[in-house]
């Protein structure tokens, strides 16, 4: 089983749609969780951290379910500019501080 | 401005040659990481380091080597033993404690010719 798993997509959605991505992780001791966005041929950039209580930033909402070991990202009112690959990232923390990326989910927002 | 710098942006190498990719950060981060990304794929961890003079193998360390002689620098050498070195290489750094989100350099595209 991979340490971090995501549905690779692609997700093709019309502008204005709501889209949700899920990600599961295998190490129950993992400490920090993030969503990153990567545009084509660019480096990943932090979209948002994911907190146990859930957190929202404008049209983006992130949730963490430690019991089921998954995190989610919800994008409301999709814009063309949201088209990118969304990467789930888990920091296993502890002595290793190992940072593991999911394979990414490709989102294409259509006009 | 604080940040993480990778150089060069594009690199061409002949088969059988070793090549070293540079990664420097002035964020005062303790932890540094090297990832490889192939077209349409996710990031795979090559090596990572939590402190100076210490580093650990990631998931695909074979054919690569690193050093961490200074906190600011974490160079990656792609050796001739790496069978498929053509890829996009990304360096990242984080604080060891706290939220520990990663900051990335702009990447190096290595092509073996």
Q: Does A103 contact B42 at a Cβ distance shorter than 8 Å?
A: yes
**B53, burial (CB in 10 Å: exposed 0-12, middle 13-18, buried 19+):** exposed
CA distance A95 to A29: 11
Over residues B51-76, the mean pLDDT reads 96
CA distance A69 to A64: 8
| B108 close to A (CB below 8 A) | no
Question: Strands B103-104 and B76-78, how do they pair?
Answer: unpaired
Write down the pLDDT at residue B2.
Answer: 72
Write down the pLDDT at residue B29.
Answer: 92
CB A50 within 8 A of CB A25: no
Q: Does B102 contact A32 at a Cβ distance shorter than 8 Å?
A: no
Q: How confident is the model at residue B44 (pLDDT cuts 50, 70, 90)?
A: very high
Nearest-CB residue to B100 (from A44, A91, A104): A91
Nearest-5° angle of CA A27, CA B34, CA B72?
115
**Among A82, A62, A77, residue whose Cα is nearest residue A11:** A82
Contacts of B61 in chain A (CB under 8 A): none
Write down the pLDDT at residue B1.
Answer: 65
Q: Does B102 contact A89 at a Cβ distance shorter than 8 Å?
A: yes
Judge whether residue B98 has pLDDT over 60: no
Residues B4-37: tens digit of each pLDDT = 999 999 999 998 899 999 999 999 999 999 999 9
Question: Which residue stretches of chain A have pLDDT < 50?
Answer: none
Write down the pLDDT at residue B49.
Answer: 94
Q: Coil, strand or helix: which one is A80?
A: helix
CB B69 within 8 A of CB B24: no
| A25 close to B (CB below 8 A) | no
């Amino acid at each position: 089983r991979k340490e971090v798993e995501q549905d690779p997509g692609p997700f093709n959605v019309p502008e204005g749609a709501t889209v949700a991505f899920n990600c599961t992780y295998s190490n129950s001791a993992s400490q920090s969780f993030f969503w990153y966005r990567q545009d084509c041929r660019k480096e990943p950039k932090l979209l948002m951290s994911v907190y146990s209580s859930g957190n929202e930033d404008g049209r983006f909402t992130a949730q963490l379910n430690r019991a089921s070991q998954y995190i989610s990202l919800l994008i409301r009112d999709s814009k063309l500019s949201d088209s990118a690959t969304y990467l789930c990232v888990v920091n296993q923390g502890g002595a290793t501080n190992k940072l593991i990326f999911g394979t990414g989910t490709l989102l294409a927002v259509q006009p | 401005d604080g940040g993480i710098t990778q150089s060069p942006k594009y690199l061409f190498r002949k088969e059988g040659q070793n090549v070293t990719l540079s990664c420097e950060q002035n964020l005062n981060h303790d932890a540094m990481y090297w990832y490889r990304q192939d077209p349409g794929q996710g990031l795979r961890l090559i090596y990572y380091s939590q402190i100076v003079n210490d580093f650990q193998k990631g998931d695909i360390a074979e054919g690569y080597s690193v050093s961490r002689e200074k906190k600011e620098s974490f160079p990656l050498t792609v050796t001739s033993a790496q069978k498929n070195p053509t890829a996009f290489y990304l360096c990242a750094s984080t604080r060891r404690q706290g939220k520990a989100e990663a900051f990335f350099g702009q990447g190096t595209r290595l092509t073996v010719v």
